[in-house]
Chain A
Amino acid sequence: MSEEITYREAAGAAIHDAMAADPRVFIMGEDVGHYGGTYAVTKGLLETFGPERVRDTPLSESGFTGAGIGAAMGGMRPIVEIMTVNFSLLALDQIVNNAATLRHMSGGQFNVPVVIRMATGAGRQLAAQHSHSLENWYAHVPGLRVLAPATVQDVYSMLAPALEDPDPVILFEHVMLYNRKGTLDRSAAVDLRSAAIRREGRDITLISYGGSLWKTLEAAALLAEDGIEAEVVDLRVLRPLDADTFLSSVRKTRRAVIVDEGWRTGSLAAEISAQIMEEVFWELDAPVGRVCSAEVPIPYPRHLEEAALPQVPAIIAAARAALGKQGEPA
């Protein structure tokens, strides 16, 4: 049975259903309880599950993330919410040095089945300390699984398998997705391994994830009006990358543009581009293109913020350039 709901509601429903299904699941983070979550994802959970399982924490990312890791090692299935990826840097030591390594350091004696959710991305005029896209920092680290659900279905359905995963999972929710509506089938299962083809096409592969996926799909629709059939790959899982899916798409179209809200230098887009060069170089008909954020702290004013982020016209221009077409569509 499917329903039309928002990404925010789907994320909240996923937590609700997980807590209802398994008493070991609890959530903690800043303002998740009484306030209902900074992005209102956890609204109503305190009333349903009580303060033991919906815990407001002090403003101490390192402290409560560490507590979540400890609880996971002790047999619980904690969900840790960090307000934005920018703040998660305070917990980087816990995540990278502890969560990601303990199974290895303990010779397999301890697992860390924690799920750490955090908001990411720009577009809400939250300025340079709340708007960055640092998914690639985590995607760099062995021992972590990194998810970027872009659809209502994924944000709901990825949580349960993430909690079942014996290793730490980082789950990114792009701030511009919360109000987006989509179709949800609560009984549908998804995997945490594969990328998804969100639109099929033969002329060029557009690779994206998270908040940029919808801009990419919009660009693909406009390109189609101009006779260019773009295939759109939604990465879904940022670590480990499902290279097979995007490589076989590029093998088919012989051209690729990667749309990534991270900064270009050292970006996920750079990694994907490198893998394309390594694996399908001889199939290419054009250099791999990248549409990334401008290399500046994300500005506060709306027009500057918009100018700094990947936008539909830039995606279209990059796709056209890869096809040897200059300028605006006819």
Chain B
Amino acid sequence: MPSLGADMDDGVLVEWDVKPGDRVSRGDIVAVVETQKGAIEIEIFESGTITRLLAAPGDTIAVGAPLAELDGPAATAGETEAAKAAPAPSAKAAAEPAAETLPERPAAPTIETPAVAATAREKTAPAVEAAPAAKAAPAGRVRASPAARQLAAERGIDLAGIQGTGPDGAVVRDDVAGGKAPQPAPGARPAAPTKTAETTGPARRGFDVDEMRKAIAAAMSRSKREIPHYYLSHTIDMRVASGWLDELNAQRPPEERVLIGMLLLKASALALTRFPEFNGRYENEAFAPAPAVHIGMAVAMRGGGLVAPALHDVDRLSLEELMAKARDLVARVRSGRLRSSEFTDAGITVTSLGERGVDTVFGVIYPPQVAIVGFGTVAMRALATENGVDAVPTVCATLAADHRVSDGRRGALFLREIDKLLQVPEAL
């Protein structure tokens, strides 16, 4: 069970999107989990074959507890994984025909499978039939030695997935050193999710408003308690950008049109590449800049509530690509289907009030991020221009940033950079 935010302790399994025997690739969606932030699609961190599901829909699983067992790639972990999964069930498997329990494999696997991998898979497949309740129990602590805990913490390994060989089956240091445990892998390649026919029961979807309120309360309280915010505001002349966009959209069918919010997002993303101190995480009294420009897009829920899932690599997307991704994201927010990586990857949040908002928004930073950029409504306002005072479209851009990490001068330059970029919309 991955942690989908600092305040998450556990999640309720809603449905499995895979079954034992399915091959999965890193980034595939394997399950849906209900959290305070709604139903989240869980992406798998490693490639391999699902050998066992350890939890059933409806189970509450603690963060860090195993959801399923995965037979890793044979080239690296096949032997040890097979040894681990083999012991007790192998005798039973010999007694019972394997055909009964072996799940059907896809007729035409799209992934080339080395012969070794097939061997490893067949060895471990019999373990599938057992769905032991004992191991699925998420409540107990993992029995692990201090040395094992220390090493696991250093390497970011989850102890729950490791078979212990120490006193009373405790996980000891060598088990951690030798064990291959799942680790979050940023930049996972997305692959088509493997849908199965036998997903159980009607999936609960959407957001629990009360739970979401609690999550927002916790995050925002922590933010205001811990983060010394400073605020900057800057009015941007949008004549060029608006005019350019109107012209562009006029020639296009609806599905190719671009909302002005995308220009604001893209300009922010490009500015971030030059001001990395606003994109990253502040944890353990240190700032770690984000390796890429993943922007949390604040999406308001009708009737209250807010989520800010990540749009990935915004600086590298064309406006059209960004529009398509944003549409998809909003659609999934509306239907309550977000992915785990979208909850963990953002290094900054951009909040945009849209066409019927107000002039200015002063954001509250979403920890452990270090900044939030706000855009008020783009509207006609009085602006002193070269012609005197004119009615022109403007937008008020604001920055709330973490003073532990950056200072006002850099913040001002950052907002000005966004302004500059918006004056050349065709380059966005």
Contacts of B303 in A (CB 8 A): none
CA distance A26 to B190 in the complex (A): 88
CA distance A324 to B174 in the complex (A): 12
Interface: B196 (CB within 8 A): no
How would residues 301 to 330 of chain A score, 1 for a CB under 8 Å from any chain B CB and 0 otherwise? 000000000000000000001111000000
- CB of B147 within 8 A of CB of A282, answer yes
Tell me whether A285 and B173 are in contact in the complex, defined as CB-CB below 8 angstroms, given that A322-B167, A324-B167 are known contacts.
yes
Q: Is the C-beta of B148 less than 8 angstroms from some C-beta in chain A?
A: yes
Q: Of B147, B168, B169, which one neighbours A285 at CB under 8 angstroms?
A: B147
**Which residue of chain A has its CB nearest to the CB of B151?**
A282
Cβ B167 vs Cβ A286 within 8 A: yes
Q: Which residue of B lies closest to A324 (CB)?
A: B166
Decide yes or no whether A283 CB sits under 8 A from chain B. yes
Give the number of residue pairs across the A-B interface with Cβ within 8 Å: 42
The distance in angstroms between the C-alpha atoms of A322 and B169, with both chains bound, is: 11
In contact, A284 and B145 (Cβ under 8 angstroms): yes
Q: Are A254 and B165 in touch, CB under 8 angstroms?
A: no
In residues 125-161 of chain B, which contact A (Cβ within 8 Å)? 145-150
| Cα distance A286–B145 in the bound complex, in angstroms | 6
Residues of A within 8 A of B148 (CB): 285
- The proximity string for B residues 167-190 relative to A, scoring 1 for CB distances below 8 Å and 0 otherwise, is 111101110000000000000000
A36 sits at the interface (CB 8 A)? no
A201 smallest CB distance to B (angstroms): 16
Q: Is the CB of A283 within 8 A of B147?
A: yes
> Is A321 touching B146 in the complex (CB atoms < 8 A)?
no
- Give the interface centre of B164, B165, B167, B170 by most chain A CB atoms within 10 Å: B167
> Per a CB cutoff under 8 Å, which of B149, B150, B169, B172 touches A286?
B172
CB pair B167 A283 closer than 8 Å = no
A283 contacts across to B, CB distance below 8 A: 146-147, 150
A137 CB–B CB distance under 8 Å: no
Residues of B near A70 (CB, < 8 A) are none
CB distance from A25 to the nearest CB of B (A): 49
Mostly helix, strand, loop or mixed at chain B's interface?
Answer: helix
Q: Is the CB of A284 within 8 A of B166?
A: no
Indicate if A166 sits at the interface (CB-CB under 8 A). Answer: no
> Which residues of A are found within 8 Å of B145, using beta-carbon distances?
254, 284-286
Judged by a CB distance under 8 angstroms, whether A281 is at the interface is: yes
Instruction: Tell me whether A254 and B147 are in contact in the complex, defined as CB-CB below 8 angstroms, given that A285-B173, A286-B172, A324-B172 are known contacts.
Output: yes
C-beta contact mask, B404-422 vs A, less than 8 Å → 1, else 0? 0000000000000000000
Once the chains are docked, how many angstroms separate the CA of A61 from the CA of B174? 54
Query: Is A51 an interface position by the 8 A CB rule?
Result: no
Collect the chain B residues with CB atoms within 8 Å of residue A285's CB: 145-148, 166, 170, 172-174
**Does A287 have its Cβ within 8 Å of any Cβ on chain B?**
yes
Q: Are A324 and B165 in contact (CB under 8 A)?
A: yes
Q: Is the CB of A282 within 8 A of B167?
A: no
Q: How far is the CA of A267 from the CA of B164 in the complex (A)?
A: 32
Closest partner residue, chain A, to B168 (CB atom): A324
Q: Name the distance in Å between B372's Cβ and chain A's nearest Cβ.
A: 38
CB under 8 Å from chain A, chain B span 298-314:
none
- A 97-131 to B, binary, CB cutoff 8 A, 1 in contact else 0: 00000000000000000000000000000000000
Q: Is the CB of A321 within 8 A of B147?
A: no
User: In chain B, what residue has the closest Cβ to A283?
Assistant: B147
Report the separation of the CA atoms of residues A282 and B152 in the bound assembly, to the nearest whole angstrom. Answer: 12
| Min C-beta distance of A249 to chain B, whole Å | 15
- The answer on a CB contact under 8 Å between B173 and A321 is no
| A282 CA / B147 CA spacing, docked (Å) | 5
**Knowing A254-B173, A324-B172 touch, does A284 contact B146 (C-beta < 8 A)?**
yes
Q: Which residue on B lies nearest to A286, using beta carbons?
A: B167
Within 8 A of B (CB), among A273-306: 281-287
11 new A-B contacts at CB < 8 Å, known A281-B146, A285-B170: A254-B147, A282-B149, A282-B150, A284-B146, A285-B148, A285-B172, A285-B174, A286-B145, A286-B166, A324-B164, A324-B172
Which 7 pairs of residues, A with B, have the shortest CB-CB distance?
Answer: A285-B172, A324-B166, A285-B145, A282-B150, A324-B167, A284-B146, A285-B147
A-B contact pairs, 23 of them (CB 8 A): A254-B145, A254-B147, A254-B172, A281-B146, A282-B147, A283-B147, A284-B146, A284-B147, A285-B145, A285-B147, A285-B148, A285-B172, A285-B174, A286-B166, A286-B170, A286-B172, A323-B166, A324-B164, A324-B165, A324-B166, A324-B167, A324-B168, A324-B170
What is the interface of chain A, defined by CB distance below 8 A to chain B?
Answer: 254, 281-287, 321-324
